[in-house]
């Protein structure tokens, strides 16, 4: 384990923002993590995972702990289900591909989502009709101040739409070190109705899709709409899709009959934030090297040398315009530091 002084974080965040950390430490084991936590006060540490859900707007005057604990293990197998433990430093998409190789179903709709396994419960990541919580069992986490290891059940995580207890009551208190999932081994329950998956399968003349077919369809859809962060700096969806009550929805739909929407099980309605942003004229917008992607208005991008502050100012301009036009306050999905 090495400590690097005044380290650049450019290669550790998918926006490609070039900021400097006071110190940088790559953490490869739970023992290393506990050792470091005992040496520092919690407020002196900044925990970094895959860097795919963060926008740096200034240098980090703290010691950055980059969680790179690796490992995949089958904990238990039943006739139709399998329990998998994935360590926090595992790349999420690589984990999904590993599941497909072993015919473990459940997360094929979450293919190509950037980031690490360890932060997936914090955000309750989701796409194309599937959320992390759907196959989540528990996660292990270490308290930053006491170094106590605690196991959180699904109920204790209090998952919501892009939300969990780790973003609220326990914000910045724990570091997740591993996650346990329950996946199917056969008789997979496929979700093909959400988004363009059904259309993609139809175009490829696939009537009886496998979980690999679903994953391939999702990958093709995402690649056609979203920029590769290795080529254009971005963090995927920058804003959450707003959820509104039925009264607000009815009024909005009357004014905008062409508006797309998704009715949720609790009777509320989810409005695509990308549609709102596009209607406000920001799709393809560019100012300097900060911009809105030309194919997906929900994605803010760094075309080269944009600063975090410039991208943040663009986000604020979008929020202001959407509020003015639709009376909806967009919330950021990306953490702004």
Residues 6+ away with beta carbon under 8 Å from 266: none
* Alpha carbons 45 and 64: distance in angstroms, whole number: 6
Handedness of CA 88, 91, 92, 95 (dihedral sign): negative
Q: Which of 293, 261, 237 is nearest to 125 (CA)?
A: 237
| Torsion angles phi and psi, residue 155, rounded to 5 | -65, -40
Q: Which of 164, 237, 307, 310 is catalytic?
A: 237
Total residue length of the chain: 337
Whether residue 130 contacts residue 191, with contact meaning beta carbons closer than 8 Å, is answered with: yes
Q: Which of 204, 209, 242 is nearest to 221 (CA)?
A: 204
200 is annotated as an active-site residue: no
Six token digits for residue 254? 């009357």
* Alpha carbons 41 and 48: distance in angstroms, whole number: 16
237 is annotated as an active-site residue: yes
CA torsion 154→158→160→166, rounded to 10°?
-100
Six token digits for residue 255? 């004014």
- Given the structure tokens 């009357």, which residue do they identify? 254
* Alpha carbons 288 and 304: distance in angstroms, whole number: 9
63 forms beta bridges with: 23, 45
Q: Which of 162, 164, 222, 307 is catalytic?
A: 162
* Alpha carbons 257 and 259: distance in angstroms, whole number: 6
Handedness of CA 12, 273, 215, 225 (dihedral sign): negative
Q: Which of 85, 131, 200, 333 is catalytic?
A: 333
Query: How does strand 269-270 pair with strand 262-263?
Result: antiparallel
Residues carrying an active site annotation:
162, 237, 333
């Amino acid at each position: 384990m090495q400590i690097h002084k005044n380290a650049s974080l450019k290669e550790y965040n998918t926006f490609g923002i070039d900021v400097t950390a006071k110190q940088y430490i790559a953490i490869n084991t739970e023992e290393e993590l506990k050792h470091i936590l005992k040496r520092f006060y919690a407020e002196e540490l900044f925990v970094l995972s895959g860097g795919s859900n963060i926008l740096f707007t200034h240098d980090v005057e703290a010691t950055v702990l980059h969680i790179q604990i690796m490992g995949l293990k089958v904990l238990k197998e039943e006739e139709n289900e399998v329990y998998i433990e994935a360590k926090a430093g595992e790349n999420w998409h690589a984990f999904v591909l590993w599941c497909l190789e072993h015919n473990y179903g459940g997360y094929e709709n979450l293919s190509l989502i950037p980031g690490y396994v360890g932060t997936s419960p914090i955000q309750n990541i989701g796409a194309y009709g599937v959320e992390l919580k759907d196959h989540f069992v528990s996660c292990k986490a270490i308290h930053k101040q006491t170094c106590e290891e605690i196991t959180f059940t699904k109920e204790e995580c209090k998952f919501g739409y892009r939300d969990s207890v780790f973003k609220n009551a326990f914000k910045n208190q724990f570091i997740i070190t591993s996650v346990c999932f329950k996946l199917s081994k056969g008789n997979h329950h496929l979700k093909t109705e959400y988004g363009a998956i059904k259309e993609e399968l139809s175009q490829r003349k696939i009537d009886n899709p496998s979980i690999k077919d679903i994953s391939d369809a999702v990958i093709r859809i995402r690649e056609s709409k979203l920029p590769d962060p290795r080529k254009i700096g971005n963090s995927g969806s920058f804003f959450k899709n707003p959820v509104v009550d039925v009264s607000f929805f009815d009024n909005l739909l009357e004014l905008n009959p062409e508006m797309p929407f998704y009715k949720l099980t609790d009777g509320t309605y989810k409005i695509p934030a990308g549609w709102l942003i596009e209607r406000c004229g920001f799709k393809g917008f560019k100012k300097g090297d900060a911009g809105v992607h030309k194919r997906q208005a929900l994605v803010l991008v760094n075309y080269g040398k944009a600063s975090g502050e410039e991208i943040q100012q663009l986000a604020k301009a979008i929020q202001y315009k959407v509020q003015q036009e639709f009376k909806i306050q967009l919330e950021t999905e990306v953490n702004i530091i």
